[in-house]
């Protein structure tokens, strides 16, 4: 896929992987529109990269998404939709009855999964109108093997993975020009993963891998630890599960 001259919308692009993506897509010759829920972070991203368009929008809020579509249309539309926004709830004690656990789970599903579907549905006609267009959905290495203490996050990313495969196949069936990519990150060194003690990939290396895969039309993008987890779970599922989820509550992945 050719990136130069394309306009990309990056949701949740004010920190971590998203902000690094802003930098590297600009360097690749893209026009960048970025969204986020925190106006101060949006303003900071705009100060750092004056060429971007920054829009306050919540990926899990359907009204925000509809307003975003109208604003993007007024700007001339996009060629690439990068569904980067996502949240990771803190580890849960599933054995304790709690309304808070339910609310956290609902928020993860709304943003990580349903928000992706809603954004894709809203922007699909715009993307179909382009000569070459793409959707980038973000799942996780945990879409292959769930983390016991974060089941809803793992489930939300597994849902994204299966949905992405189905969406890609459907668009091929109708001869659409919209390419569908799935990014499966390992643990990446961001604020969201500060409680993880495993080896972490840098946001810079992750986005480099993403951009290289886009250019080579590699539709399923497994980077770093994700490759190991994928193959271990495929051929040695019991070992992979013990490695990720040892019997003790705080294993090699999460700090106590």
What is the residue-wise DSSP string for 35-54?
Answer: EES-HHHHHHHHHH-TTSEE
Where would I find the H helices in the chain?
A: 16-27, 39-48, 62-74, 99-109, 115-128, 151-173, 203-215, 225-235, 237-244
Instruction: Tell me which residue range forms the domain holding 193.
Output: 7-229
Q: What single DSSP character describes residue 251?
A: -
User: Are 19 and 52 spatial neighbours (Cβ–Cβ below 8 Å)?
Assistant: no
Kindly state the greatest CA–CA separation across the chain.
Answer: 54
pLDDT tens by residue, 203-219:
999 999 999 999 999 99
Query: What is each CA distance from 143 to 30, 146, 161, 183, in whole angstroms?
Result: 30, 7, 7, 11
Q: Would 108 be classed as within a structural domain?
A: yes
In the chain, what is the straight-line distance between the N-terminal and C-terminal CA atoms, in Å? 43
Q: Give the separation between CA 83 and CA 59, rounded to whole angstroms.
A: 9
pTM: 0.91
| Tokens found for residue 67 | 């307003």
Q: Would you state the pLDDT for residue 255?
A: 47
Q: Which residues of the chain have pLDDT under 50?
A: 251-252, 254-256
Order across the sheet with 80-83: list the strands.
53-56, 31-36, 7-10, 80-83, 133-138, 178-184, 220-222
| Tokens found for residue 187 | 């643990």
CATH of the domain at 157: 3.40.50.720
Q: Would you state the pLDDT for residue 96?
A: 56
Taken as a whole, the chain contains a residue count of: 256
Query: What is each CA distance from 211 to 10, 18, 208, 215, in whole angstroms?
Result: 13, 13, 5, 6
Q: Would you state the pLDDT for residue 194?
A: 66
Q: Which residues pair with 184 in a beta bridge?
A: 222
pLDDT tens by residue, 183-196:
999 988 876 666 66
Q: Would you state the pLDDT for residue 244?
A: 86
Q: Would 153 be classed as within a structural domain?
A: yes
User: Are 159 and 144 spatial neighbours (Cβ–Cβ below 8 Å)?
Assistant: no
Domain count for the chain, please give it.
1
Q: Would 247 be classed as within a structural domain?
A: no
Nearest to 240 by CA among 146, 138, 140, 154: 146
Q: Would 66 be classed as within a structural domain?
A: yes
Q: Please tell me the number of Cα atoms within 13 Å of 15 on its side-chain side.
A: 13
Q: Would 135 be classed as within a structural domain?
A: yes
Q: Please tell me the number of Cα atoms within 13 Å of 202 on its side-chain side.
A: 4
Q: Give the separation between CA 56 and CA 34, rounded to whole angstroms.
A: 9
Q: Would 255 be classed as within a structural domain?
A: no
Q: Would 250 be classed as within a structural domain?
A: no
Query: What is each CA distance from 57 to 17, 116, 143, 203, in whole angstroms?
Result: 18, 14, 26, 23
User: Are 133 and 177 spatial neighbours (Cβ–Cβ below 8 Å)?
Assistant: yes
Q: Would you state the pLDDT for residue 93?
A: 57
Q: Would 246 be classed as within a structural domain?
A: no
The CA-CA-CA angle for residues 18, 34, 23, to 5°, reads: 50
User: Are 107 and 60 spatial neighbours (Cβ–Cβ below 8 Å)?
Assistant: yes
């Amino acid at each position: 896929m050719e990136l130069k001259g394309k306009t990309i919308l990056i949701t949740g692009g004010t920190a971590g992987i998203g902000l690094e993506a802003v930098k590297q897509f600009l360097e690749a010759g893209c026009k960048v529109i970025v969204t986020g829920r925190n106006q101060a972070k949006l303003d900071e991203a705009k100060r750092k990269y004056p060429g971007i368009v920054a829009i306050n929008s919540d990926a899990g809020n359907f009204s925000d998404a509809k307003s975003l579509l109208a604003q993007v249309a007024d700007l001339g539309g996009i060629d690439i939709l990068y569904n980067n926004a996502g949240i990771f709830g803190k580890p849960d004690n599933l054995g304790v009855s709690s309304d808070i656990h339910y609310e956290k789970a609902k928020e993860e599903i709304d943003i990580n999964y349903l928000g992706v579907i809603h954004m894709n549905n809203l922007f699909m006609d715009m993307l179909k109108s382009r000569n070459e267009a793409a959707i980038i959905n973000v799942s996780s290495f945990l879409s292959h093997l769930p983390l016991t203490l974060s089941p809803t996050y793992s489930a939300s990313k597994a849902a994204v993975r299966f949905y992405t495969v189905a969406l890609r196949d459907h668009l091929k069936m109708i001869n659409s020009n919209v390419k569908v990519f799935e990014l499966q990150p390992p643990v990446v060194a961001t604020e969201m993963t500060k409680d993880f003690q495993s080896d972490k990939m840098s946001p810079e290396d992750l986005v480099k891998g993403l951009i290289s895969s886009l250019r080579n039309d590699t539709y399923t993008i497994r980077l770093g630890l994700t490759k190991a987890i994928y193959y271990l779970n495929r051929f040695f599922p019991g070992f992979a599960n013990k490695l990720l989820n040892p019997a003790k509550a705080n294993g090699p992945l999460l700090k106590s």
